[in-house]
Structure 1
Amino acid sequence: MTDLDIDHLRQWIGREETKSELLTPAAVDRFNATFDFTGEPRDGDAAPVMIHLCLAPPAAPTAQLGPDGHPARGGFLPPVPLPRRMWAGGSFAFTGDIRVGETVTRRSTIRDVSVKHGRTGTLCFVIVDHRIDSNGREAVRERQDIVYRGTDSAPAKPAEPAPYGAHRRRVEPSAALLFRYSSLTFNGHRIHYDAPYVRDVEGYPGLIVHGPLQATLLVQFAEKLRGRRPALFEFRSLSPLFDDADFTLNAAEDGEALSLWTSYADGPVAMQGRATW
């Protein structure tokens, strides 16, 4: 078991960071190409939903990246001494439009840092709140739940196969798709694009499908089914997806909402979410 100095890590609570980026038509064009969308983006157009995850990302110098491609620990996020980090869950409240040609600003605050010890080992949770503005107008409120864990964590209990959604779409997690999304988000984490590394060093069966990519696909799916973007999308990650098999986007009516999830054809739920309008 790894000993964590939780009192030290909790000193990061309240820490803030602000980043901005001009949203150009070229950036929207690259986002649309990644997801096979068509159209000619122009200044003043409403930008596609979830593009905010690709704007003003952390940009650590290459020399400051660790062996896994992540920036060195510390800085805005607390220096949690556990090697594996994943997007455990969160929410997006879409309150306005991000528009092409406007400056998008993300204001981030560390809300909480906590440690849990359980059957699967030591886990450290960091909750981050983000407010995303477009030319000073609020567009998105986001909560990001990050979990850190050790490499010696006990395996989770086998999960039941996911149900088939009333609405269902197959996705091929091609190396090109995963690489392009890593590029859009300036994410150097090697588990998403370096197959020999992820198999030989991390011990996974294949490249890992990004949590933000899964969330983006589910929100896009919800938007397509209802004809407009949701007001709120809440989600949690339950199990990983790899590039060794296609996976599915699923949706089922849930009153006035939609329940959504990703899974392999006969595998467990990977990401579970709920969209409301």
Structure 2
Amino acid sequence: MSNDFSAWAGRSEQAIDTLEPARSNALNAATGDLAVGAAGDPLPLLHHWLYFWDVRPPEGLGIDGHPARGGFLPPVPLPRRMWAGGRLKFLQPLLLGEQVARTSTILKVEAKSGKTGDLVFVTVRHELTGGAGLAIVEEQDIVYRGAAAPGSIAPTATGIAPGAASWRQDVLPDTILLFRYSALTMNGHRIHYDRPYAIDEEAYPALVVHGPLQATLLAALATKNVAAPVTGFDFRGQSPAFDGVPLHVCGGPTEDGASLWTEQGGTRNMVATIRCGAAA
């Protein structure tokens, strides 16, 4: 594998979209939240991921359902791609119904070798600007991995009670929820809805619960339990979560915000922290 993707660092692209309330409200409904937003209301945290679709024709897709590589993102030949985590600063609210510009820039591309083989990490910075100016600054970490050996990814254990948490919401990530989130984000990655592909091609034991969906559930749990405005959100995936097994969305207060995690079968799948108060 060629490890030199340095030419991609610094690449930038811009997209413009309108934050139509129907899409945000559809995600609320899909996750059991009865809140209904209208034009002019603040966009719920992390709902900006529902917009700025990158819709490609069939010939513009890879075998995994993602856009074919080599456009904005580098053409890394490793077959498995996942959104590993990210860091966000919320400077001011975006409003439902407003037009928003997103500028995306590749900050760095790093090739590494780990216990599981070759890895390539790509960090992308997004800046979202609404009518009142810059609103969200986000860094996304994308990791590319080699193929997994059949049976190397363990299924989720069942019958294990969740750990103690000050706040908790239990969600069953069934095929309907995964399909709805894939549709609302125009995420064609087949590991979330195509069970034969997920098992036979990427060696997962079941369908994979989207990392951004877990992060969104964590952000919603936090905003229901903290009084101060959320100004920062950091998250990192630790272990994949799978469909058909209860997912425990957990958290508790800290001195400057909250500590959050999702848990399934006694394993923490994603960890996150929020910061409240003055924007960093």
How high is the TM-score relative to the length of structure 1?
A: 0.91
The answer as to whether partners of 1:31 and 1:184 remain within 8 angstroms in 2 is yes
TM-superposition CA deviations, 1:198-249 (whole Å, max 9, x none): 1232221111000111111111111111145521011111110000311111
Report which stretch shifted further, 167-176 or 208-217.
167-176
Shift of 1:257: 2.4
What are the within-5 Å matches in structure 2 for residues 59-208 of structure 1?
59-135=55-131, 137-152=133-148, 163-208=163-208
Report which stretch shifted further, 39-48 or 110-119.
39-48
Partner of 1:54: 50
User: Distance between the aligned counterparts of 2:103 and 2:190, measured in 1?
Assistant: 27
Q: Percent identity at matched positions?
A: 43
Q: 1:218 to 1:122 in 2, by over 3 A?
A: same
Superposed CA RMSD in Å reads 2.3
Q: 1:210 to 1:229 in 2, by over 3 A?
A: farther
SS at match of 2:127: strand
The answer as to whether partners of 2:127 and 2:138 remain within 8 angstroms in 1 is yes
Q: 1:168 to 1:25 in 2, by over 3 A?
A: closer
User: Distance between the aligned counterparts of 1:145 and 1:153, measured in 2?
Assistant: 24
User: Distance between the aligned counterparts of 1:264 and 1:94, measured in 2?
Assistant: 29
User: Distance between the aligned counterparts of 1:38 and 1:269, measured in 2?
Assistant: 27
User: Distance between the aligned counterparts of 2:253 and 2:24, measured in 1?
Assistant: 31
How high is the TM-score relative to the length of structure 2?
A: 0.90
Q: Which blocks of at least 5 consecutive residues in structure 2 are unaligned?
A: 155-159
SS at match of 1:41: coil
Q: 1:129 to 1:147 in 2, by over 3 A?
A: same
SS at match of 2:230: coil
SS at match of 1:220: helix
Q: Which blocks of at least 5 consecutive residues in structure 1 are unaligned?
A: none
